[in-house]
Amino acid sequence: MTKIDVDLLVISEMRDYVQEQLDVRFRAHKLYEAPDADAMIAELGPSIRAVAAGSHRNVDTDLMDKLPNLEIVSNFGVGYDNVDAKSAGERGIIVTNTPDVLSDEVADTAIGLMINTVRELPQAEQFLRAGKWTSANYPLTPNTLREKRLGIAGLGRIGKSIAERAESFGLSIAYYGRSDQKIAYTYYDSLKALAENVDIIISVLPGGTATNKVYNEDVFKALGPDGTFINIGRGSTVDEDALIEALKNGTIRSAGLDVFDHEPHVPEALMALPNAVLLPHVGSGSVYTRNAMGQLLVDNLTNWFENGKPITPVAETPFSAK
């Protein structure tokens, strides 16, 4: 690999596979290892031209102010609410993410979480492990995927991958998003309207102020007592107190969650609920997919400095990949 004469600030710990490439390609400075992060930024700030970011530290205006020669922020993950992309775009700073390479893995997780939640498979496993099967059968599950209507909130790359898989289960599909995509699935222009017309919601909504706690008491009431809520998007989109009450009171039947509002902290009240299936944000969590995401992070940086083009710029970035 050719060494690129660029100072890179790595603000979140990366997989070894990724960090090794960054070390070879750039002068990589690991902020997360610094005994005094502010001192490192003060010392290196003017020389930093690139940032490799993850979800554990925000790239906000305060940090950008301290990096006056910053050209690009390459973010690990399809979601990039940890980066103030709007402010970056206004400053002419490129922001990239890692779409597509994780869509199938996350879609697989969403379908698996839906099946586990609807059919109570984790609860049935615990029943067996507790030795209860020797004296009784596990109760018939009150819910099924047969003849059910699935609503997908956020029909982007991941949402479409979920829809493709869901079709093979015979589920009818509707969706909510910013606009009607004029496709075969039924479109609803509000979450409440979607909830009123489906049995299961799978949320793929991104984080941010526009989606903060949009899943509230009204939406759960609309979903109804036979409804199932699945979230593999962002935890910030859910009013967790309202969800807990909905699960406790039978406002909805069940929930399957891979994301939470204050990760890695999950409310005790949520963990105590027997009708909630909870995962520790493992949607894209395979070695294969995380390596592919990391490779795209590296390739975005490399392509920018070698060819002047990012591979996957986000919408707020003043640059087209075409």
d(CA 158, CA 18): 23
31 half-sphere exposure, CB direction, 13 A CA radius? 26
Residues 166 and 257 in one domain: yes
Residues 108 and 200 in one domain: yes
Residue 26 belongs to some domain of the structure: yes
Residues 118 and 95 in one domain: no
Residues 93 and 108 in one domain: no
The number of folded domains in the chain is 2
Per residue of the chain (322 residues), give pLDDT as tens.
679 999 999 999 999 999 999 999 999 999 999 999 999 999 999 999 999 999 778 999 999 999 999 999 999 999 899 999 999 999 999 999 999 999 999 999 999 999 999 999 999 999 999 999 999 999 999 999 999 999 999 999 999 999 999 999 999 999 999 999 999 999 999 999 999 999 999 999 999 899 999 999 999 999 999 999 999 999 999 999 999 999 999 999 999 999 999 999 999 999 999 999 999 999 999 999 999 999 999 999 999 999 999 999 999 997 654 4
Residues 295 and 171 in one domain: no
Residue 218 belongs to some domain of the structure: yes
Q: Is 263 a catalytic residue?
A: yes
Residues 52 and 86 in one domain: yes
Residue 314 belongs to some domain of the structure: no
Task: Supply the CATH number for residue 81's domain.
Answer: 3.40.50.720
Residues 93 and 145 in one domain: no
Q: Is 56 a catalytic residue?
A: no
Please identify, among 278, 296, 316, the residue that sits at the C-terminal boundary of a domain. Answer: 278
Provide the pLDDT for residue 209: 92
Residue 313 belongs to some domain of the structure: no
Provide the pLDDT for residue 122: 98
d(CA 303, CA 314): 15
Residues 175 and 227 in one domain: yes
Catalytic residue among 125, 164, 263, 306, which? 263
Residues 191 and 299 in one domain: no
Name the DSSP letter for residue 239: -
Residues 204 and 245 in one domain: yes
Residue 312 belongs to some domain of the structure: no
Residue 320 belongs to some domain of the structure: no
d(CA 307, CA 242): 49
Residue 61 belongs to some domain of the structure: yes
Domain coverage including residue 114: 103-278
- Largest pairwise CA distance in the chain: 70
Residues 139 and 203 in one domain: yes
Amino acid type, 21: Q
Q: Is 281 a catalytic residue?
A: yes
Residue 317 belongs to some domain of the structure: no
Provide the pLDDT for residue 174: 98
Provide the pLDDT for residue 1: 63
Residues 124 and 73 in one domain: no
The three-class DSSP label of residue 147 is coil
Catalytic residue among 234, 240, 253, 290, which? 234
Distance of CA 236 to the CA centre of its chain: 11
Total-model pTM: 0.91
